[in-house]
Amino acid sequence: MKNFEILSGIVGLMLLLIVSIFILGFINNIETKSNVISCGTYAPYIPMEPSMKVGEALFKANCATCHNKNMKADMTGPALGGALKRFNNDTLAYADFIRGSQAYIKKGHDKRVMQLFEDFNRSVMQDFPNLKDEDIKAIIAYTENMYRYGYY
C-alpha cells in the first residue's frame, strides 16, 4: 500500500511537470509571435518569396530605363514605390495598365491615372503585352520590397 502511494505520487508529479512544460511552451510561443507582429521587421508589405529574384530581373530589363531603381524618386516615369496601393491594391488593374497603359488610360475609368499621364507631360509608357500575371506580381513584389526596405 505504501509503495503504491509513493508510486502514484511520483507519477502525479511527472504528469504535473509535463503539463507545465506544455503550458510554458504555449505561453512562450504566444509571446514570440506577438513580438514579431509588434516589432514589424519580419512582416514585409508583400510576403518574401523566391519570385522577387525574377521580379528584379524583369524590372531591370524592362522598367529601369524610365523608373528609378530606388523606387522613391521620379524619372521619365513616376517612382514605383506604393504604386500598387495607388491602384487600390488591385493587381489585375495594375497588370492591365502595364500591358497597355494607353488603352487603360483611354478607357477613362481611372481619373487618377489620366491625371498622372498629364503630370508626366503626356509621356507614353511602352506596352508590355508579353508580361504574364506571375511576371507582374513578381515585379510588384520586388518594387514594393525595395521601396519599403531597400532590399528583398
CB atoms closer than 10 angstroms to residue 74: 13
How near is the Cβ of 101 to ligand HEC at its closest, in Å?
Answer: 5
- Non-local CB neighbours of 86 within 8 Å, separated by 6+ positions: 112
- 115 touches ligand HEC (CB under 6 A): no
Nearest CB to ligand HEC, comparing residues 35 and 123: 123
Which residue matches cell numbers 516615369? 77
Which of 51, 52, 55, 67 is the binder for ligand HEC (CB under 6 A)? 67
- 100 touches ligand HEC (CB under 6 A): no
How near is the Cβ of 75 to ligand HEC at its closest, in Å?
Answer: 8
Query: Among candidates 146, 114, 130, which has minimal Cα distance to 44?
Result: 146
- 54 touches ligand HEC (CB under 6 A): no
Residues of this chain that interact with ligand HEC (CB under 6 A) are 62-63, 65-67, 76-78, 80, 83, 86, 94, 98, 101, 113, 116-117, 120, 123-126, 128, 139
